[in-house]
Structure 1
């Protein structure tokens, strides 16, 4: 049995702090295995073996496979929309391109089907994953509000529906045709459809 290199030091009231090298090794092992064997075949034991640590170290950090995969697949929150304000069609294209960029990494492609299933059964996990997109969602609402004030967007467009349409189109495309690329032509065509429904 492997010694746990991250074991808590019982002699110290606060315990020994987590070793960030172990965190990094675990996340790297998770991303590698996701791409190699897929979500359904991924196990905590396999991750521990690949990371040269123990399952105890994994479960001290992440309580489930879904939580570990969520952090490995989305290591950082996507950035907000960076296009200059004033052109709502450009904003819509930037939103669609951003969704494409987030969901088409090899790790996210491998994780998405299983993670969606686990998120539907775990409200806390769902909230945690959605929390990574707060800045993007806020930017969509802000740009839509500005476009309405300029008279560039329909007043009856709900920002939540716009977010759902963009994210849903991207994820459904990946789930239906997981081996096909989402290139700039796909972004342009999807932009044309969405823009037709929201731009005055």
Structure 2
């Protein structure tokens, strides 16, 4: 639904702090349009119109469509590691379930193919976008280090590779069989395979 222009200010003058109402309206508009018309058809002008603001306001916040869509589709970078440490199998299952939930959401399904293509063509864009996941890698690194200290995980397990395996397995499963649900049985089976690869 189009935001009420009367409730969303136009882009603030230089030097003024960003208005969170505009941020929220833009992200909501981008998410809705992404699902409705897809990544390739989405334009910054269309998002600005839907949000009731201006293209200037968009570009003041996000330098490209890809960066805007990434933040709209991934409003947060969940680590799924909020619980206490002590069970690496539970940690891995939580991460795989979280990846499943994120990648199967309608905005991510709609935006992922275009985002991957744009990021592959622009190393600087890739670096800016993946920077948003710094916290995820740090959380996994800390949790694995704790598990290594306990003797639960082999010391040669690379946390970055673990994140890649979890995300890659989820995306490949969706690409190969897009019509099949990623149910809890898939999460359990994948978790068992990955866990066996890291335990001491």
TM-score (norm 1): 0.84
| Alpha-carbon distance in structure 2 between the residues aligned to 1:159 and 1:7 | 41
After TM superposition, the structure 1 = structure 2 runs for residues 29-108 of structure 1, keeping only pairs within 5 Å, are 29-79=29-79, 81-108=81-108
Offset at residue 191 of structure 1 (A): 0.4
Structure 1 residue 49, shift from structure 2 partner: 2.2
- 1:7 positional shift: 4.9
How many aligned residue pairs are there?
Answer: 194
Q: Looking at CA atoms only, which structure, 1 or 2, has the larger radius of gyration?
A: 1
Report the CA distance between 1:83 and its aligned residue. 3.0
C-alpha contact (below 8 Å) 1:6/1:18 kept by paired residues: no
Distance 1:64 1:135, change over 3 A: closer
- Which segments of 5 or more consecutive residues in structure 1 lack a partner in the other structure? none
Shift of the 150–43 alpha-carbon distance from structure 1 to 2, 3 Å rule, reads: same
Q: Decide whether the 8 Å contact of 1:62 with 1:68 is kept in 2.
A: yes
Distance 1:62 1:50 in 2: 16
Distance 1:169 1:69 in 2: 23
Task: Confirm or deny: 8 A CA contact 1:22 1:53 kept in the other structure.
Answer: yes
Is 1:196 aligned to 2:200, yes or no? no
How far apart are 1:194 and its partner, in Å?
A: 0.6
Q: Paired residue for 1:6?
A: 10
RMSD of aligned Cα (Å): 2.4
Structure 1, 16-25 or 161-170: larger mean CA deviation: 16-25
CA contact (8 A) 1:80 1:135 kept: no
How far apart, CA to CA, are the structure 2 residues paired with 1:53 and 1:90? Answer: 45
**Pair 1:167-2:171 in alignment:** no
- 1:135-185 C-alpha deviation (Å, 9 max, x unpaired): 221222222222222222223322222121111111222333334332211
Structure 2: gaps of 5 or more residues = none
Match of 1:158 in 2: 158
Contact 1:83–1:94 at 8 Å: present in 2 too?
no
1:181 is matched with 181
Q: Is the 8 A contact 1:6 1:19 kept in 2?
A: no
Equivalent residues in 2 for 1:87-166, closer than 5 Å: 87-166=87-166
Residue 189 to residue 60, structure 1, CA distance change in 2 (3 Å):
same
The offset of 1:42, in angstroms, is 0.9
Q: Distance in 1 between matches of 2:144 and 2:17?
A: 45
